[in-house]
Structure 1
Amino acid sequence: MSHFSIRGHSDMLMILEARGKPILTMMETIRIKIMLLIVKKKEEADKWNGMLCPKIKKKVDVNIKDSLKCVPSHAGGDKYQVECGLDSQHVVDLVENSCSYKNWDLTGIPCMHALAVIHLKEEFPETYVQIWYTKQTQLQIYSNFVSLVRGPKQWASLSNMPPILPPPLRRPSGRPTKVRREEPDEPQTTERLSKRGVEIRCGKCKRVGHNKRSCKGEVGQNILVKRHKVGVLTQQQATPNQQEGTPTQQAALTQLPTAPTHQQAALRQKLPFKRKPTTVR
């Protein structure tokens, strides 16, 4: 808003919904929006009881409360210096209806800096509101309605006119941007989602409580791998009656081959495969 022209005296944006559409669709969207807005403003102005818009009167009352925090000082002529807190200092000109804060210049409604000066001079704030916010002016502005337009299928075609070709389109790389570019010193309003309550599981050891980067254990150390030969029972799978055997049988059970670990399996894969030498007869 700081870069808007003060000639229009309006802070309303009409192209936010239509700026990414093709030219005809964009113009039609803006036309319909303006058409509905004029009818709405005309109906609201008919219901006003006072001379000012109720919404504008409410904004002025809010600015009056905020102006109590400001300290105006006469700087000569019709110019005043207004201080509102630390490092907040603005210049107000009551003749030009201008403030360095630019809110009064843009909207036509006195800001809190201007209202502090108006209160110092003991004048009425309503006299410094621009005339287009009065009921009489609003009824005159919105008395002219937008003309209706038929659909594209009902448009008259011109045979003696060559077809209008679309301009050459040069599509840049990447996805087109729809969000404006923010300044480096602009405060970030987006909030990141909190991960409170989310269960973090490690991708290496599959345990809960840490991630893959901070893992200090072996890969897959809590995954039990059971590989047994068919018909051969290990010491854990043996029944109690079988475990209570002779010492020679218990020693034979302890010598049964066990399943290889992950480190042993990985080591076997890294070792070169040795083929048996072939003899030529």
Structure 2
Amino acid sequence: MRCLRQMFEQEGCNRDDWTLISDRMKGVELAVRETFPRATRRVCCQHLYMNCKNNGFSGSAFHKLFWIAANAYNEYVFGKAMEKISEYNANATAYLNSCIEQWSRHKFDSTVCCDHNTTNFVESFNACTKPFGDMPVFSLLEAIRSWCMQRVGARFDKAVDMEEGQLTAYALKELEERTAESRLCYATACGGGEFEVRDGHVNFPIRLATRSCACGKWQICGIPCKHALRVIYDQRMNPHDFISPWFKAAAYKLTYAEHIHPMADPSQWPDFGLPSIQPPTIKRPSGRPAKKRKRGANEPKKGKRNTNVKCEMWKV
């Protein structure tokens, strides 16, 4: 963590308003407090749920209520879910309230425009680098560097070709899905730039000037929710004008302003006269080395998909 902080400072970045998410490992937690004391800390809800199971809070009812509370974009839905969890087990509510990190979406900072409450994107990176797991350390790092160079390079070229105000692929996908959902909503103008949107049997106040909806999703995500889109389309406005700048070309270009440059073969590297470091002597343990990820004690086992082969003629 100190090296990461020093790298930021060397690049001229001295800001402290970071948002970090982790699985509450003791080493990581202490390092974050020491190195980034002002950073906003989130906890991975999947790991938090597994901790709840380890403390005896489990069952299908608790699982459903926990994720309703975790994914709640407003305090009302969160409070209702926590009330039902308290009825299920008061100790579970006390345990969740003792979590000092942010884990429910309604508590997230609206200026960040990110509603991630799990570390799935980290697991995705680990899955992409899984084929390199059997390599020695040097070969492993070189394979990861090559993989990152290819991925970042493609996005660097994409950023160069983006036009001003163009939306990212993620924003376009979310906008398309929420537009389809907005067809079942009905908006009523109240005057003064305020609207009331009916979604099923529930009404949601909308204020275009402050870019806010009572459901809370627009404020947290930075992309208009289905209720706001219903108003925007009824008013013949462009929804792109109401999307956060974080999802537009300028931010994308800033994110991928640099790329990883190609590197010569190690045989062509300059010689600095340093001693050659040899790998330590390792005694190979007996048996075949494990490759699969070790699942937790309460983590469900991966099921096998069974298929029945039937005769095309006799159907048996």
TM-score computed with the length of structure 1 as normaliser: 0.44
- Higher Cα Rg: structure 1 or 2? 1
State the TM-score, normalizing by the size of structure 2.
0.40
Q: Which structure is higher in RCO with an 8 Å CA cutoff and minimum separation 6?
A: 2
Higher helix share: 2
